[in-house]
A = this chain, B = another copy of it.
Amino acid sequence: MSSEKLETLKARLGEVSDIHSAISLLHWDQEVMMPPKAAPGRGQQLATLSGLAHRLFTSPEIGELLHDLHEGGTLTGDDAKLVSEGLHDYTLATKLPETFVQKLAIAQSSAYEAWVKARAASSFADFQPHLQGMVDLMLEKADHLGYENSPYDALLDEYERGMTADYLGGLFGDLAPRQSALVDRIVNAPNQPDLAWLDQEWDPDAQWKLSVKILKEMGYDFEAGRQDKSVHPFSTNFDITDVRITTRINPRDLFSGLMGSMHEGGHALYEQGLRESDRRTPLGQSISLGIHESQSLTWENIVGQSLPFWKRQTARLIKAYPGQLDGKTPEDLYRAVNRVQPSFIRVEADECTYNLHVILRYEIERALIEGQMKVSEVPEAWNAKVKQYLGLDVPNDAMGCLQDIHWSHGSIGYFPTYALGNLYGTQFLEAIEVALPNLWSDIEAGRFAPLLGWLRTNIHQVGRRMTASELITHVTGKAPSAEPFMKYLEEKYLPLYGLA
């Protein structure tokens, strides 16, 4: 009886999963292939399919199946977990009234338009009422979802399940002053690299081919995915057999295309590595945005910006760009790819300054949600924090608090996951280095299989069987902490800048 119900539940959840796959394809196509005039029609198709997926998923049939199976108590192991995860999603989805979802969609659409214009005009005042609207809507959302301590907890939970404002406050409060002090030391170090040679034209075809070659070596399966070009690089998936990435090639930038491909490739390896038997069920999904980001950053930063990696790749680059890199050593490339330079724009920030961008956003959005800051105070707070953390004077709102799209979508609680990815990734690294003593010599030899194997077994194949915090404690023996990341930064950058 309960096994029959479980099969019915899986069939229903599978249908919802299929609709989400179609939605993801509609989005992918919109970014990569779609002709320009098709935008309004595509918006309508997306609205219809999203509404349909929500309606089907929150149907009484699925609700009853989930409750019956959960409360029946006869299921064990993965079956029990599948049901409890399904019930978690169902409960969340049914907590938001249809009227709220519609109100939010309308507000998002006008806030997005206002943001585009406000950013172009570099005028926060034009965006301010929309941001106020979003803060109000997110407070309403938090009330619908429920929380114990802070409404920010309810918002965070959507992106990083189980994470709380207080825990995050501890992590970031530890990290921010230390990372800022490190950046300050680096910026003032006498030993600054001369990187004038980077200012050349780098053949886009060669960049593309190199990225494909390295993606293949990483273990990305091109028979279950593809790489294309898009304005904003991203990864997406319709099934573990179809996980796609995009990249952007900048002819003036030797590294950004390749590092972008490795970043998206890291996301894609996670999705390609989910369990075959979990497909179309809640278990066959990634754990959280923070864990996802740990995978992209493992490949982009930890591997792709390491000296062993460049010991192998430098010869390739010299060959790929004839006459442009003659005489360059792996150490030269390693220094170049790891240049530290505080800047205004988050998406262009280097590994050493990046988290500071994230933390200041977290501090502002949390203060807004907890009522300690008014929306009108955002630009001033932003500029003060950029000065405090990065030592820079923000010239205008476009380079400051208007640069990111997230708040126009009401994505409050999302930014922290970027920094968590760095913390998780380096905390995993400590466990990997113990498990794989030859990690760095393997990377120097272009052998990524042991690393990928470890990630597959310990992270990817887990699906949603644990929360991020449970997984990290399980794998590393410690709760999530800022310590491994700070240690990683210091061990890497102090020598690079002659400070140790």
Chain A residues within CB distance 8 Å of chain B = 14-15, 18-19, 21-22, 25-26, 29, 33-42, 44-45, 48-49, 52, 221-226, 238-242, 279-280
Contact = CB atoms under 8 A, between A and B. Distances in A.
Contacts of A40: 241
Copies in the complex: 2
A47 to B, nearest CB: 8
A63 B304 CA distance: 59
Nearest to A18: B48
A294 B479 CA distance: 69
Given A22-B22, A35-B225, A52-B52, A239 B41 contact: yes
Nearest to A222: B35
B239 A38 contact: yes
Contacts of A238: 38, 41-42, 45
Contact of A49 (B19, B39, B42): B19
Nearest to A16: B48
A45 B237 CA distance: 13
Residue from A14, A19, A38 whose CB has the most chain B CB atoms within 10 Å:
A38
A205 B91 CA distance: 55
A29 B25 contact: yes
Contact of A26 (B25, B34, B279): B25
Nearest to A34: B242
Nearest to A56: B52
Given A14-B44, A19-B48, A35-B225, 17 more contacts: A14-B48, A19-B49, A22-B26, A22-B45, A22-B49, A25-B29, A35-B224, A36-B223, A37-B221, A37-B241, A38-B239, A39-B241, A41-B238, A41-B240, A41-B241, A42-B238, A42-B242
